[in-house]
Chains A and B, each alone.
Chain A
Amino acid sequence: MTARRGKKRREGNAWLSRVLAVGVFVFLLAPFAALFFATDWADFHFAQGDLGAIRTSLLYSGLAVLLAVLAGTPLAWWLARGHWRGKWVLDALLMLPLLTPPLALGILLSSFYGPYSPVGSVFSQAGIYLTNTAPAFILAQIYGAMPYYIIAARAAFEGVPRELEQISRTLGRNRLQTFWQVTLPLARIGLSAGVALAWVRAMGEFGIVLIVAYFPQGIPVKLWVNLQDIGLDAVYPLLWIFFLVAVPLPLWIGLRARRQTQALF
Chain B
Amino acid sequence: MNQAPAALDLRCQLTQPVALDLRLQVRGFTVLLGVSGAGKTSLLQAIAGLLPARVSPFGDLPVEQRPIGYLPQGYALFPHLRAWENVAFPLPRSARRQTEALALLQRVGLKELAERFPAELSGGQKQRVALARALARKPQLLLLDEPTSALDMATRDEVLDELIREVHAFGIPLLAVSHDPHLAMLADHMAILREGRIVQEGPPVEVFARPHHQTTARLLGFRNFLSGHVDAQENAILRVAGAGWQLQAESRSSLPMGTPVQLTWRAEDLFLEEASGLPCPNRLVVRVRASRAEGLSTRIYLEGPAPLEMLLSRQQAEAAQINPGSLLKVCVQPRHVQIMIEEVSS
Q: Does B133 contact A (CB under 8 A)?
A: yes
Contact A164 B117 (CB under 8 A): no
Contact A164 B78 (CB under 8 A): yes
Closest 7 A-B residue pairs measured CB to CB? Answer: A171-B90, A167-B76, A170-B70, A169-B63, A185-B80, A172-B90, A163-B76
Expressed in whole angstroms, the Cα–Cα distance for A43 and B230 within the complex equals 109
Contact A167 B64 (CB under 8 A): no
Q: Does A168 contact B (CB under 8 A)?
A: yes
From B49, B70, B117, B136, contact of A264 by CB (8 A):
B117
| Residues of B44-79 whose CB lies within 8 A of A | 45, 48-50, 63-66, 68-70, 72, 76, 78-79
Beta-carbon nearest neighbor of B73 in chain A? A163
> Smallest Cβ distance from A192 to chain B, in angstroms?
14
From B48, B65, B76, contact of A164 by CB (8 A):
B76
Taking CB atoms, residues of chain B closer than 8 Å to A264 are 79-80, 117, 119
Contact A170 B89 (CB under 8 A): no
Q: List 11 A-B contacts (CB under 8 A).
A: A161-B76, A169-B49, A169-B50, A170-B48, A171-B89, A172-B137, A173-B89, A174-B64, A185-B80, A186-B80, A264-B119
Contact B79 A171 (CB under 8 A): no
| Residues of B84-135 whose CB lies within 8 A of A | 89-90, 117, 119, 133-134
Expressed in whole angstroms, the Cα–Cα distance for A85 and B287 within the complex equals 59
From B48, B89, B119, contact of A168 by CB (8 A):
B89
Expressed in whole angstroms, the Cα–Cα distance for A185 and B80 within the complex equals 7
Taking CB atoms, residues of chain A closer than 8 Å to B49 are 169-170
Contacts known (A163-B72, A264-B117, A265-B119); A170 close to B66, Cβ less than 8 A: yes
Q: Does A249 contact B (CB under 8 A)?
A: no
Beta-carbon nearest neighbor of B48 in chain A? A170
Taking CB atoms, residues of chain A closer than 8 Å to B136 are 171
Expressed in whole angstroms, the Cα–Cα distance for A173 and B48 within the complex equals 13
| Residues of A210-265 whose CB lies within 8 A of B | 263-265
Expressed in whole angstroms, the Cα–Cα distance for A265 and B117 within the complex equals 10
The interface bits of chain A over 36-57 (1 if a CB of B lies within 8 angstroms of the residue's CB, else 0) are 0000000000000000000000
Contact A166 B50 (CB under 8 A): yes
Expressed in whole angstroms, the Cα–Cα distance for A169 and B66 within the complex equals 10
Q: How many chain-A residues does the 8 Å CB contact rule pick out? A: 19
Expressed in whole angstroms, the Cα–Cα distance for A154 and B215 within the complex equals 45
> Smallest Cβ distance from B58 to chain A, in angstroms?
11
**On chain B, which size bracket covers the interface?**
20 to 34
Taking CB atoms, residues of chain B closer than 8 Å to A168 are 78, 89
Residues of A within 8 A of B (CB): 161, 163-164, 166-174, 181-182, 185-186, 263-265
Expressed in whole angstroms, the Cα–Cα distance for A167 and B70 within the complex equals 7
Contact B79 A170 (CB under 8 A): no
Taking CB atoms, residues of chain B closer than 8 Å to A170 are 48-50, 63-64, 66, 68-70
Expressed in whole angstroms, the Cα–Cα distance for A181 and B91 within the complex equals 13
Expressed in whole angstroms, the Cα–Cα distance for A172 and B70 within the complex equals 11
Beta-carbon nearest neighbor of A188 in chain B? B80
Beta-carbon nearest neighbor of A260 in chain B? B80
Taking CB atoms, residues of chain A closer than 8 Å to B50 are 166, 169-170
> Smallest Cβ distance from A21 to chain B, in angstroms?
30
> Smallest Cβ distance from B219 to chain A, in angstroms?
26
Expressed in whole angstroms, the Cα–Cα distance for A163 and B70 within the complex equals 11
> Smallest Cβ distance from A118 to chain B, in angstroms?
45
Give the most central of B63, B119, B133: most A CB within 10 Å: B63
Contact A173 B64 (CB under 8 A): yes
Contact B79 A265 (CB under 8 A): yes
> Smallest Cβ distance from A160 to chain B, in angstroms?
10
Expressed in whole angstroms, the Cα–Cα distance for A186 and B79 within the complex equals 8
From A163, A164, A171, A182, contact of B137 by CB (8 A):
A171
> Smallest Cβ distance from B65 to chain A, in angstroms?
7
> Smallest Cβ distance from A24 to chain B, in angstroms?
33
Beta-carbon nearest neighbor of A173 in chain B? B64
The interface bits of chain B over 267-306 (1 if a CB of A lies within 8 angstroms of the residue's CB, else 0) are 0000000000000000000000000000000000000000
> Smallest Cβ distance from B88 to chain A, in angstroms?
10
> Smallest Cβ distance from B276 to chain A, in angstroms?
52
Contact B119 A172 (CB under 8 A): no
Taking CB atoms, residues of chain B closer than 8 Å to A263 are 117, 119
> Smallest Cβ distance from B112 to chain A, in angstroms?
21
Taking CB atoms, residues of chain B closer than 8 Å to A185 are 80
